[in-house]
């Protein structure tokens, strides 16, 4: 990466879609779902190959800072941007762009979730390098994922004409962003060959996105003006604390991207990407054994078992399966989940039920 | 029950067919599989309604005595018969008959496993009363179970002519004992209406069975003669210790019953009996909820789950199932078993594999 290139990691999220492993106070990016590393550590490791640690920023909330510093000590303390309260990705992007511009007026930034899984880190790094080249030219680059199946769980990006002829990697003008489609529409998108999944990863110049926010999100922009005025002064913290809670929660996709100029999509295939949005989506990207199983339990014995995910976090416990197919088994200290894989999204219903019945200790 | 009637409970067994709940040192009769009571406690409770505790004997092995005394303190210490080593049911019967005859030459005894489940205790008590009446006449009574399906897991008893005309409960001469049949034979047995499952429960006069042992099992009989000679003397323990280990392990079924005289079968229906020989056989006799599920976990939340057995022994753990059918889930401290119900018998293969790989701690 070049001198003015920065990576901004969004690490403030909560969410319980990987319940019971992810919990209210233990979001999935901070958990070792897939081996030794946590998703956050994996994200930082992928970036640290191509960015010096001084140019990797983390946006988070106060309660998560200590754990993040513990997990990725290489990130300098001054690179933490701490939101008083989470207010959606638009405000994260705005805050990061504002702070980076004070630090480096020529900053180009990638905005990246901390809780995604990417199996092919090298290809990702290459795609990122190409994206920064495009961003330097003033483009708002969205990283699209070439769809593997007609998912109804992702937003889609429809590509228009090629952006330029001579690029090493094909890039397109964006014709349209669409929200999560129904099954039939998803099938049509997949068949068209002109739609990518929206990964939520973007690359742009800090000044370009800041201008777009000014043009399209007036109230966020005026808050960012306040932040910019006081950042680096004694008032920095006080200003942030006073202006931030009043912000409306919005995503950068709908707040800015849909009506921005010079938006391009780089549809990446072969990344082995997953947003790890549910147990079955996690299963899709993991390498399976000969029986189609994925096992993270230290002690496991499976007979006649196929296409089954076995997650165990206790190295002394033996997990035995007999005759199981297409099942997700998640064994944690206080909760056991046994779930048919194609119904893994119902974990959300379970979480809602537990909330309703005030079973706080399991949330 | 009448003055000379005794119940002898066989409680020395090991076995790991309900692994991982039953273990090498924690046999299933000593476990609360089905509620508050252990199977042993259930067995004693059924008997204690109709026998005074002084006439309930327990045959076991030394390592289990303390736990049994803890679970059923009502049984007097002098009613424990402790085998130096288990040598099959023939030697248990011989020992009990020998000891009882010294105590009460007119003794009539029921020999009963400690690890069976009987839902309908009252009916069992009635059947037992009838059986003692027959035994008093000199019959060797076998308690048959009217078969519910063509099981290949049990031995069968083929009935011949009715034993007498005026009995309240139909009783038949035994034509034949057969070992566990194949599927086709089991189907034929079920269709014939003339076969019962062999429950392993017998009722007879102590002197009658002792005579049969003398006639058919000469070496066991001479050992029993030694025991009889020294029982109640200072040599009792020393004799037992020296003669018992040399015995061949044999069942009373094959050692005596197949060629005995005056053998009758009382085919009992409606007992709600199970030998609790595997997780699915246990499931058969338990009362299911509207979804067909049986749950012993204190904290349980099941969505779209049917015909599933959920066993949990930790009251703090939440067990969640989504979309599961015909599954057995057994959650213990150090082992989790998730098993398709119709493959529950493969638990034995798992136990064998663990032995082979010297995973002693899980056995």
Distance, in angstroms, between B174 CA and closest chain A CA? Answer: 39
A298 in contact with B, Cβ within 8 Å: no
Neighbours of B219 (CB within 10 A): 11
The 3 state secondary structure assigned to chain B is CCCCEEEEEECCCCCCCCCCCCECCECHHHCCCCCCCCHHHHHHHHHHCCCCHHHEEEEEEHHHHHHHHHHCCCCCHHHEEEECCCCHHHHHHHHHHHHHHHHCCCCEEEEEECCCEECCHHHHHHHHHHHHHHHHCCCEEEEEECCCCCCCCCCEEEEEEECCCCCCCCCEEEEEEECCCCHHHHHHHHHHCCEEEEEEEEEEEHHHHHHHHHHHCHHHHHHHHHHHHHCCCCCHHHHHHHHHHHCCCCCHHHHCHHHCCCEEEEEECCCCEECCCCHHHHHHHCCCCCCCCEECCCEEEEECCECCEEEECCCCCEEEEECCECEEEEECCCEEEEEEHHHHHHHHHHHHHHHHCCCHHHC
Q: Report yes or no for ipTM above 0.85.
A: no
Closest CA to B35 of B285, B302, B268, B275: B285
From the list A322, A334, A353, the residue facing B343 with the nearest CB is A322
Residues of B in contact with A323 (CB under 8 A): 339-340, 342-343, 346
Distance, in angstroms, between A351 CA and closest chain B CA? Answer: 11
C-beta separation of B297 from B281 below 8 A: no
- Judged by CB atoms closer than 8 Å, whether chains meet at A337 and B327 is answered as no
Distance, in angstroms, between A317 CA and closest chain B CA? Answer: 5
Mean pLDDT of the A136-154 span: 94
Half-sphere exposure of B37 (CA within 13 A, CB side): 15
pLDDT at B90: 96
Residue A246 corresponds to which tokens in the numbers above?
């009043």
Half-sphere exposure of B47 (CA within 13 A, CB side): 30
From the list B317, B323, B335, the residue facing A343 with the nearest CB is B323
Half-sphere exposure of A314 (CA within 13 A, CB side): 16
- Judged by CB atoms closer than 8 Å, whether chains meet at A339 and B329 is answered as no
Cα-based distances in Å from B302 to A322, A338, B313, B323: 20, 9, 17, 8
A324 in contact with B, Cβ within 8 Å: yes
Please report which confidence band the pLDDT of residue A57 belongs to, taking 50, 70 and 90 as the band edges.
very high
Residues of A in contact with B340 (CB under 8 A): 304, 322-324
Annotate B36-72 with b (16+ C-beta within 10 A) or e (fewer): eebbbbbbbebbbebbeeebbbbbbeeebbebbeebb
Would you say the C-alpha torsion A48, A54, A60, A63 has a positive or negative sign?
A: positive
From the list B304, B335, B340, the residue facing A320 with the nearest CB is B335
Please report which confidence band the pLDDT of residue A168 belongs to, taking 50, 70 and 90 as the band edges.
confident
Chain A with chain B: Cβ pairs closer than 8 A:
114
Q: pLDDT digits over B109-134, tens only?
A: 999 999 999 989 999 999 999 999 99
- Judged by CB atoms closer than 8 Å, whether chains meet at A346 and B304 is answered as yes
Residue with tokens 């003006």: A225
C-beta separation of B270 from B105 below 8 A: no
% of chain A with per-residue pLDDT over 90: 79
Annotate B298-309 with b (16+ C-beta within 10 A) or e (fewer): ebbbbbebbbbb
From the list A318, A335, A343, the residue facing B335 with the nearest CB is A318
pLDDT at A132: 97
Q: pLDDT digits over A187-201, tens only?
A: 999 999 999 999 999
Closest CA to B60 of B79, B73, B32, B76: B79
pLDDT value at A285 more than 80: no
d(CA B11, CA B201): 13
Of A213-227, A278-292, B290-304, the poorest mean pLDDT is in A278-292
CB within 8 Å of chain A, chain B residues 339-358:
339-340, 342-344, 346-347, 349-350, 353-354
- Judged by CB atoms closer than 8 Å, whether chains meet at A322 and B342 is answered as no
A148 in contact with B, Cβ within 8 Å: no
pLDDT at B26: 85
User: B199 Cβ partners below 8 Å, 6+ apart?
Assistant: B116, B142, B143, B144, B145, B273, B275
Mean pLDDT of the A90-96 span: 97
C-beta separation of A8 from A260 below 8 A: no
pLDDT value at B14 more than 90: no
- Judged by CB atoms closer than 8 Å, whether chains meet at A334 and B318 is answered as yes
Q: Which of B340, B341, B344, B345 to mutate to test the interface with A (most CBs of A within 10 A)?
A: B340
pLDDT value at B31 more than 90: no
pLDDT value at A254 more than 90: no
Of B55-59, B267-271, B293-297, the poorest mean pLDDT is in B293-297
Please report which confidence band the pLDDT of residue A315 belongs to, taking 50, 70 and 90 as the band edges.
confident
Mean pLDDT of the A3-28 span: 89
Where helices occur in A19-145 by DSSP H, the ranges are: 39-48, 62-71, 88-103, 121-136
pLDDT at A165: 74
pLDDT at A258: 87
Please report which confidence band the pLDDT of residue A24 belongs to, taking 50, 70 and 90 as the band edges.
confident
What is the longest distance spanned by two Cα atoms in chain A? 65
Of A14-28, A180-194, A291-305, the poorest mean pLDDT is in A14-28
* SS3 label, residue A283: helix
Residue A346 corresponds to which tokens in the numbers above?
């119902």
From the list A303, A317, A350, the residue facing B303 with the nearest CB is A350
C-beta separation of A51 from A63 below 8 A: no
d(CA A140, CA A163): 12
pLDDT at A34: 67
Mean pLDDT of the A159-187 span: 91
C-beta separation of B186 from B150 below 8 A: yes
Q: Is cis: bond before A259, omega within 30 of 0?
A: no
pLDDT at A15: 72
- Judged by CB atoms closer than 8 Å, whether chains meet at B303 and A347 is answered as no
From the list B319, B334, B343, the residue facing A323 with the nearest CB is B343
Neighbours of A196 (CB within 10 A): 25
C-beta separation of B96 from B59 below 8 A: yes
pLDDT at A313: 87
pLDDT at B135: 97
Q: pLDDT digits over B151-199, tens only?
A: 998 999 999 999 987 778 899 999 999 999 999 999 999 999 999 999 9
Q: Is A84 left (phi over 0), alpha (psi -120 to 50) or beta?
A: alpha
Residue B44 corresponds to which tokens in the numbers above?
């004693």
Mean pLDDT of the A277-296 span: 85
d(CA B171, CA B169): 6
pLDDT value at A35 more than 80: no
Closest CA to B121 of B48, B36, B28, B29: B48
B303 in contact with A, Cβ within 8 Å: yes
A327 in contact with B, Cβ within 8 Å: yes
pLDDT at B315: 87
Q: Is cis: bond before A182, omega within 30 of 0?
A: no
C-beta separation of B132 from B203 below 8 A: yes
pLDDT at A209: 97
pTM over 0.90: no
- Judged by CB atoms closer than 8 Å, whether chains meet at A318 and B346 is answered as no
Greater confidence, A345 or B202? B202
Mean pLDDT of the B290-310 span: 91
C-beta separation of B206 from B101 below 8 A: yes
- Judged by CB atoms closer than 8 Å, whether chains meet at A343 and B301 is answered as no
- Judged by CB atoms closer than 8 Å, whether chains meet at B359 and A316 is answered as no
pLDDT value at B34 more than 70: no
Greater confidence, A33 or A221? A221
Q: pLDDT digits over B318-331, tens only?
A: 999 999 999 999 99
Residues of A in contact with B311 (CB under 8 A): none
Nearest CA in chain B to A340: B323
Phi, psi angle pair for A100, to nearest 5° = -65, -40
Residues of A in contact with B318 (CB under 8 A): 20, 334-336, 359, 362
pLDDT at A215: 96
Mean of all residue pLDDT scores within chain B: 93
Of A13-17, A288-292, B218-222, the poorest mean pLDDT is in A13-17
Please report which confidence band the pLDDT of residue A157 belongs to, taking 50, 70 and 90 as the band edges.
very high
Domains in chain B, start-ordered, CATH in brackets? 5-274 (3.90.550.10), 279-362 (no CATH)
Mean pLDDT of the B328-344 span: 95
């Amino acid at each position: 990466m070049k001198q003015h290139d920065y990576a901004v990691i969004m690490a403030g999220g909560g969410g319980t879609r990987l319940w019971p492993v992810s919990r209210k106070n233990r979001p999935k990016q901070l958990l070792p779902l897939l081996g030794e590393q946590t998703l956050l550590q994996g994200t930082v490791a992928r970036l640290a190959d191509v960015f010096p640690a001084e140019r990797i920023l983390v946006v988070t909330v106060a309660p998560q800072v200590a754990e993040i510093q513990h997990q990725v000590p290489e990130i300098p303390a001054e690179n933490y941007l701490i939101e008083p309260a989470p207010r959606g990705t638009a405000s994260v992007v705005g805050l990061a762009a504002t702070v980076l511009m004070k630090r480096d007026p020529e900053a180009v930034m990638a905005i990246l979730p901390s809780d995604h899984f990417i199996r092919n880190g090298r290809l990702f790094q290459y795609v990122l390098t190409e994206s920064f080249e495009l961003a330097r030219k003033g483009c708002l680059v969205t990283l699209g994922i070439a769809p593997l199946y007609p998912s109804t769980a992702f937003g889609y990006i429809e590509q228009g004409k090629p952006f330029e002829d001579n690029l090493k990697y094909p890039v397109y003008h964006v014709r349209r962003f669409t929200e999560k489609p129904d099954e039939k529409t998803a099938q049509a998108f997949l068949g068209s060959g002109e739609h990518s999944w929206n990964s939520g990863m973007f690359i742009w110049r800090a000044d370009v996105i800041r201008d777009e926010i000014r043009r399209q999100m007036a109230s966020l922009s005026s808050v960012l003006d306040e932040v910019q005025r006081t950042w680096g002064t004694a008032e920095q913290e006080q200003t942030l604390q006073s202006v931030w809670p009043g912000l409306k929660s919005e995503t950068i996709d709908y707040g800015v991207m849909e009506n921005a100029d010079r938006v391009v999509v780089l549809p990446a295939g072969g990344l082995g990407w997953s947003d790890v949005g549910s147990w079955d989506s996690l299963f899709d990207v993991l390498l399976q054994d000969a029986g189609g199983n994925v096992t993270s339990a230290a002690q496991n014995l499976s007979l006649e078992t196929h296409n089954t995910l076995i997650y165990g976090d206790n190295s002394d416990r033996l997990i035995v399966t007999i005759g199981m197919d297409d099942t997700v088994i998640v064994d944690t200290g206080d909760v056991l989940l046994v779930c048919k894989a194609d119904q893994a999204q119902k974990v959300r219903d379970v979480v809602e039920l537990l909330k309703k019945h005030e079973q706080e200790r399991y949330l």
